[in-house]
Amino acid sequence: MERGLKLLTVNQLVEKFNFEVLAGHVGLDKEITEYSLKRPSAELAGYLEHLTPKRIQVYGRTELGLIQQFDYSVRRSKLAQVMLAEVPCVIITRGLTIPLEFIELASERKIPLLTTPRSSTQLFYLLIRYLINQLAPSTNVQGVLVDVYGAGIMITGERGIGKSEAALELIKSGHLLVAADIVKIRRVDEERLLGTAPKRIRHQLEVRGLGILDVTTLFGAGSARDEKVINFIVHLEDWKQDKIYDRMGIDTPETRQILGISVPEITIPVRPGRNLATLIEVAVIQNWNRNCKGQVTPPIRNR
């Protein structure tokens, strides 16, 4: 089931980055919904056409230098046009000294006023990465995610079809487990889906007849990784006599839409005697060669 943005509050941001709260404490439970940040230089100069009040506002040397050119009444008027009640929080960088009007407006409008010794550049780099990761649209998919030859391969199919057994054989052959049973997927940008496992079952694989296996205990710490970009989907299904499967290896993979991104997908029919792990390895190499047009050497095992 796909879902939208996660709930992220200003208080979580304060705890994560150790911001000092100067004013507006009552607004610390405000929700942050946008990962873009705003340096309101143009707005302070009077250009308000593209004001985005739901973004976190950041004030560095440029913004503070601009606002301090005005006397008290003009300063307060300009800040009042920018520091609207919808603003989730205001961050002052470099621990700079701020005019009293900031504290007055932050308190009146319940806007958390935060300060950090970091520069604006450092703050933008750290904060945008964190916000994109936290606010990325996400979904859960039943399946197994394995790093095969450096590619993120998600194996899907009905329960009992053999996903875990195929993954176990791949891990035994030197590939890496990322997630089993449930794959948590986040859309981290316009092209990439990042998969991981719920913390409570990370590095664990359930195989009928053997129970729940910790692959790092069985095969070592290098047999698993915490997250991986999803490059390819292998869907397992029971062999259907009336279905026509690719016999020449010339069909291009179909695609599956996940969070608005198309992921290449092939279907492998399952019946006794077929080595699914080997078929998945070959499918990965085949897809690699198709995309690289034979100009790049196929990848090798991770371990």
Report in angstroms the alpha-carbon separations of 118 from 91, 114, 128, 225: 10, 12, 14, 32
Q: Would residue 247 show up in a list of annotated catalytic residues for this protein?
A: yes
Distance of CA 47 to the CA centre of its chain: 34
Structure tokens at 231: 């490059």
Q: Minimal CA–CA distance to 196: which of 204, 206, 207, 186?
A: 186
Q: Is 104 one of the annotated binding-site residues?
A: no
The one catalytic residue in 118, 163, 186, 187 is 163
Beta bridge partners of 90: 57, 113
Is position 138 annotated in a ligand binding site? no
Q: Is 55 tagged catalytic?
A: no
Amino acid at 212: I
Place of tokens 């869907």: 235
Taken as a whole, the chain contains a residue count of 303
Which amino acid is it at 59? Y
Instruction: Please give the structure tokens belonging to residue 227.
Output: 């997250």
* Residue among 159, 199, 200, 247 flagged as catalytic: 247
Which of 6, 109, 181, 225 is catalytic? The answer is 181
User: Measured in Å, how far apart are the chain's first and last C-alpha atoms?
Assistant: 34
Q: Is 163 marked active-site?
A: yes
Which residues are annotated binding-site positions? 164, 206
Which residues are annotated binding-site positions for Mg(2+)? 164, 206
Provide the annotated active-site residues. 163, 181, 247
